[in-house]
Amino acid sequence: MTISDTGAGPLSGLKILDIATIIAGPMAGSLLADFGAEVVKLELPGVGDGLRGFPPLKEGKPLWWKVTNRGKYHGTLDLRKDDGAKLFLDLVSQMDVLIENFRPGTLDRWGLDIETLWKANPRLVVLRVSGFGQDGPMANQPGFARIFEAMGGLTHITGDPDRPPVHTGYPLADSIGGLFGAFSICAALLKVVRSERQEGEEIDLAMTEAVLRLLESLPIEYDQLGDVRERVGNKNTYSAPSDVYMTSDKRYVSLAGSTNRTFRYNAAAIGQPELVDDPRFASNVARVKHVEELDKIFGAWIAAHTLDEVIASFREHNGTIAPIYGMDQVFDDAQYKARNAIVSVSDEDFGSVRMQGLVPRFRKAPGKIRWAAKGLGADNDYIYKTLLNLDDQEIETYREQGIL
């Protein structure tokens, strides 16, 4: 796929400058690139984004990197140096959005405070991603996904009640931050274009607060009832039966359903439709009170049947159960295949690689993934020749000075 390949989608024409690192900020940029935004990602010359060093690797090439920074133009710039800062501001003047995740005050120390950025581009939207926000007693503390999950309340409710809290094994908080980042950029841009003065916006995204926001009912539960939600393993605090069960062929399934209708379907699926007439199970509230009895009933039936038998019966009766997939099963699933949820993407190292497609789908402006993330500085010529009109000698001089 060539550098001239243009974006498609509802954000076509939007220009974003991404100087963030690792996952959350860059993911926000890639989500917008999926839907047509032109995203220029700048990294420190010779060093690059730390995500380039994250496993898994294939032939020394980082695979995670290829997804989190897909669809972007990749350049290098040391904006800590005076001439680098000037080039940076020249780029800022052409952009609609800047994404950064340095510790609060870092850009200010480099002479790139918000007023300087807005002087270069009064309409600029700046997304600042940090662990704890731009102010407060912990503003300058370092942050990682596990810290955000721990302090945001997510880890406390994850795991079995008689065991220590559990992290997911994947930096879920970073992905949460990426989603909030992309959403907040779109919200800010709408405000900019609707404003008569079309002033820019500065977005303060605290990752710990993003995790907390995702927990929806837990804060009001504590505020109004004094209850602190605790770990319940695979059970569900608001509906029953809801658990993870093993089939006779040692596969796992997850059962859900809170309404009387879904309970009726699920009871029929295990051949016990009379359960709906039992007073213990007459309502969701009653079923939650008698969750242990329901677990034994459903668990015993599932344990006596293979995965295929369980899924077939529940689908026949409109029940609400699902097999617990590994990624190999995701790739092989008929529903995912029918939806083309896993797509092949052009890649400079391996020809093509498969990864998730676009979520959600747009009917009239669907967007597309232009390419997997590239090598360090792969698009410097495009960025500095096409966008800033520098000639070869100027670019070479900047390279010799370590600015590019």
123-152 pLDDT tens trace: 999 999 999 999 999 999 999 999 999 999
Residue 205 DSSP label: E
b/e code 141-163 from CB counts within 10 Å (16+ = b): eebebebbbbbbbbbbbbbeeee
β-bridge partners, 17: 40, 98
Band (pLDDT 50/70/90 cuts) for residue 78 is: very high
What per-residue confidence (pLDDT) applies to 3?
35
What per-residue confidence (pLDDT) applies to 1?
27
Average pLDDT score over residue span 24-48:
97
- Give dist(CA 346, CA 2) in Å, integer: 10
What per-residue confidence (pLDDT) applies to 276?
96
15-214+364-400 is classed CATH 3.40.50.10540: yes
What per-residue confidence (pLDDT) applies to 6?
52
Average pLDDT score over residue span 308-313:
98
What per-residue confidence (pLDDT) applies to 356?
98
Band (pLDDT 50/70/90 cuts) for residue 11 is: very high
Residue 87 has pLDDT above 70, yes or no: yes
Annotated catalytic residue within 96, 174, 243, 347: 174
Q: Residue 112 corresponds to which amino acid? A: L
Residue 254 DSSP label: E
Peptide bond just before 161 cis, omega within 30 deg: no
Average pLDDT score over residue span 107-111:
97
Instruction: Reduce the DSSP state of residue 227 to 3 states and report it.
Output: coil
Closest by CA to 163, choosing from 253, 234, 238, 111, is: 234
Return the domain boundaries, the chain.
15-214+364-400
Q: Residue 25 corresponds to which amino acid? A: G
182, 244 Cβ separation under 8 angstroms: no
Average pLDDT score over residue span 180-205:
94
HSE at residue 103, side-chain half, CA atoms within 13 A, is 9
What per-residue confidence (pLDDT) applies to 7?
55
What per-residue confidence (pLDDT) applies to 196?
81
Residue 25 has pLDDT above 60, yes or no: yes
What per-residue confidence (pLDDT) applies to 54?
96
- Helix (H) / strand (E) element for 268: namely helix 260-269
Band (pLDDT 50/70/90 cuts) for residue 8 is: confident
Average pLDDT score over residue span 331-345:
97
252, 323 Cβ separation under 8 angstroms: yes
Instruction: Reduce the DSSP state of residue 311 to 3 states and report it.
Output: helix
348, 325 Cβ separation under 8 angstroms: no
174 tagged catalytic: yes
Closest by CA to 81, choosing from 59, 111, 50, 60, is: 111
Provide the mean pLDDT of the chain. 96
Q: Which residues contact 328 (CB under 8 A, 6 or more apart)?
A: none
HSE at residue 298, side-chain half, CA atoms within 13 A, is 33
Peptide bond just before 323 cis, omega within 30 deg: no
Band (pLDDT 50/70/90 cuts) for residue 197 is: confident
What per-residue confidence (pLDDT) applies to 218?
97
What per-residue confidence (pLDDT) applies to 237?
87
What per-residue confidence (pLDDT) applies to 311?
98
Order the strands of the 73-76 sheet from edge to edge: 73-76, 38-43, 15-18, 97-100, 125-130, 201-206
